[in-house]
Structure 1
Amino acid sequence: MIRLRLKVEDYLTVPVWIAIAVFAVFANDYSASIWASYIFNIPMALGLALLWGFAGVLSFGQVAFFGLSGYAYGVIAGNLGESAALASWIGAGGALALSVALALAVGWFVFYSRVEAWIVPIVTLVISLILAAFLGQTAGYQWRIGEVHLGGYNGMTGIPGMNLFGIDLQGRLFLFFVIFVAVLAWLVCVICTRSRYGDSLIALREDAVRTELFGHDIRFLQTSCFMISAALAGLSGVLYVQWGSYITPDSMGLLQATLPVIWVAVGGRSSLLGVILSTLALNALTYQLSSAGNQYAFVILGVLLVVVMVIPTTRAGKALSAKWRRLTHNFSEG
């Protein structure tokens, strides 16, 4: 039996999910669609928080798994269109399996080859850019899998949405489904981080050599954590294509690759609640700025990234961090 040591933020996260669910009850279809586009990014952000905040491995390649799962879902579900419910579930399962398989291959190469830590972000970013470049040149008619055209830079369109027991999930129904999946992703991260596995990840983050000397297989820890984060990113990719019915290579481009890093950095990479709130807030901010014709959304997010990376290194930032740790520790002990 897994014994979990919950923290104060875990208790505080429950009312947040309840508030989001209550909002979904009263939201109209337009608001539900917009909020679904915010919430389906949460699994990807939580996966990066698990990988970066707890295992100490920074990845710029989460959008590679996001995009790969989106394309894989489109291909599988598009070729199983006769049964919508079957296409949805098989497409989602196949997409996640492909993302995990890619993560296993990359993890085996990176971690078991004992590649230096600073190389990992570069390798993962290169993988994302290679996938984006490859998919961008698939505009010709010959680039098709079964009945589905990859579409090049125009992207893949007409992707089937989510069908549950014969019901097409749209509007508020799809928002409820996205919330449910996001809560499951959060629970997975809670189990991973509040258990002995999470303790091993933190030890790995603090001192990999000492952790290995104590008998932990750090390569397995790094690879398994990388695979979990890839699965969560792939989950966001599946929800994305079910929401919009399309995907383009730009979803794996350089700008998109930086967004999950910003969400996690702003929220506090080792705080699951902080990452959830920052993902929602920054996606809402980006949408509002973009819809108003403001071209400085990415500039503002970049400034936020610099600020949150610099403040913790200052004397005031260290004092606040120490006070917060004492507060949460006392709450948990109580």
Structure 2
Amino acid sequence: MKIKMNTENMIATLLFLFLIVYPLMTSAYKVLNLASFLSMVFISLSVALIWGYAGIFSSGQSLFFGIGGYFYGILMLNVTQPSFTLVAFILGVVVAGLVSWLLGYIIFYGGVNDMFVGLITLCVTLAIETFMAQTAGPEWKIGNVSLGGYNGINSIPTISIGSFSLVGNNLYYFILILLLVVYISLRLLVVSRWGYALIAIRENRERSKMFGYNVPFIQTMVFALGGALASLSGILYACWGGYMTPSTMSLSAATLPVVLVAAGGRKNLTAGMIFTLIYLWFAQYLSANGNQYALVILGLLLLVVILLLPQGMLVALFNWLDSLKLRPKARASYEINPVKEVLHEK
């Protein structure tokens, strides 16, 4: 595959180069903060994949975030063997992926689509969050681990490779390497034939069915992949902070990734990743200075996007910068839409 050196790819390359050298330029505290921001990017990528490319509007990615984090924490606190952390890490992603596959199977093979998917996933997420908040009593235990109600579970161990525990810069680079692998894999996926099938379904489900695509199957599989990505975010968050609470599945937690992806550009993985990092840094900056206006500002930005920049702020910026570079040639587009070519080929 030929790589185009357009604005998106150049900015993504510069971003990862900066992230690689960042620990060499700053304090351990700031590196630890950025590690938490990077762990949250995976859930934004999951939203961009299933909503931006497959047209599945889900408000339940925080559910799989919580499932992954809780599963990993409960399993590790019962096993208490540092050498088992990688196994627990993989199992957490697999279990959350299976749960999202099952939920997706019920939804899509049941003929549910569009806004109703968002309503169902949001209701399920809030139901699980409400249930987990009621598990404060001593009777709510899994093995030796008390669920803790709204306080959640604490002292979750970080990932270890053999006797080597991933903390500080080691955890940061582990998360960064995972992010780079996932990001490149998704970029390759969305320009593959399977990725084009996702876009065809997003644009016109009924016509895609007429051309022989098994639409419910494809929707279920991409929904499961999105759930696995969100759980990866939750497990890394649990490893970073050492705790997991029901608030990770709250209403604000469920809607925030959707808003971030929409504001940055839901049909572009790079835009979703970058806008998530910018917002999290900005929100922490405001909190450190005694202000809590990050969500208000994000809401205003979303209004601007809806009214003036429906393709997203960063996607509009990418296109504008490329239009300067390519004039008088046609403007580059970051919203890949090869539906006509795919359907024609079929």
TM-score scaled by length of structure 1: 0.91
Residue 142 of structure 1, CA deviation: 1.2
1:293 corresponds, among 290, 293, 296, to 290
Match of 1:94 in 2: 91
1:204 corresponds, among 201, 206, 215, to 201
Match of 2:327 in 1: none
Contact kept, 8 Å, 2:265 with 2:315, in 1: the verdict is no
Residue 163 of structure 1, CA deviation: 1.0
Q: Aligned to 2:106, what secondary structure does the other structure show?
A: helix
Contact kept, 8 Å, 1:52 with 1:269, in 2: the verdict is yes
Match of 1:328 in 2: 332
The separation in 2 between residues aligned to 1:43 and 1:180, in whole angstroms, is 12
Is the aligned partner of 1:39 residue 2:38?
A: yes
Match of 1:176 in 2: 173
Query: Deviations for 1:75-112, whole angstroms, at most 9, x for unmatched residues?
Result: 1111111x2021x1122122111211111111111111
Residue 27 of structure 1, CA deviation: 3.1
Match of 1:77 in 2: 76
Contact kept, 8 Å, 1:71 with 1:247, in 2: the verdict is yes
1:235 corresponds, among 210, 232, 237, to 232
Is the aligned partner of 1:152 residue 2:143?
A: no
Distance 1:35 1:279, change over 3 A: same
Which amino acid in 2 is paired with 1:327?
R
Which amino acid in 2 is paired with 1:80?
V
Distance 1:189 1:319, change over 3 A: closer
Query: Deviations for 1:99-147, whole angstroms, at most 9, x for unmatched residues?
Result: 1111111111111111131100111111110111111011111111111
Distance 1:56 1:198, change over 3 A: same
Contact kept, 8 Å, 2:268 with 2:315, in 1: the verdict is no
Distance 1:195 1:149, change over 3 A: same
Alignment length (residue pairs): 324
Q: Aligned to 2:50, what secondary structure does the other structure show?
A: helix
Match of 1:118 in 2: 115
Residue 291 of structure 1, CA deviation: 2.4
The separation in 2 between residues aligned to 1:244 and 1:272, in whole angstroms, is 26
Contact kept, 8 Å, 1:24 with 1:176, in 2: the verdict is no
Query: Deviations for 1:240-272, whole angstroms, at most 9, x for unmatched residues?
Result: 000000011011000111110121112111111
Give me the CA root mean square deviation. Answer: 2.3
Residue 191 of structure 1, CA deviation: 2.2
Structure 2 unmatched ranges of 5 or more? 324-329, 337-346
Q: Higher relative CO (CA 8 A, sep ≥ 6), structure 1 or 2?
A: 1
Query: Deviations for 1:165-222, whole angstroms, at most 9, x for unmatched residues?
Result: 3111111111111111111221221122011111111111111111111111111111
Is the aligned partner of 1:309 residue 2:340?
A: no
Alignment of 1:58-69 (within 5 A): 58-69=57-68
Match of 1:253 in 2: 250
Query: Deviations for 1:6-49, whole angstroms, at most 9, x for unmatched residues?
Result: 55334542222111111123332101110011111111111110
The separation in 1 between residues aligned to 2:317 and 2:38, in whole angstroms, is 29
Q: Aligned to 2:56, what secondary structure does the other structure show?
A: coil
Residue 318 of structure 1, CA deviation: 12
Alignment of 1:130-141 (within 5 A): 130-141=127-138
Match of 1:20 in 2: 19
The separation in 1 between residues aligned to 2:103 and 2:17, in whole angstroms, is 37
Structure 1 unmatched ranges of 5 or more? none
Which amino acid in 2 is paired with 1:300?
I
Which amino acid in 2 is paired with 1:211?
S
Residue 321 of structure 1, CA deviation: 9.0
TM-score scaled by length of structure 2: 0.88
Contact kept, 8 Å, 2:56 with 2:113, in 1: the verdict is no
Residue 295 of structure 1, CA deviation: 2.5
Query: Deviations for 1:278-323, whole angstroms, at most 9, x for unmatched residues?
Result: 0100011111122222222222222222221221359xx9998986
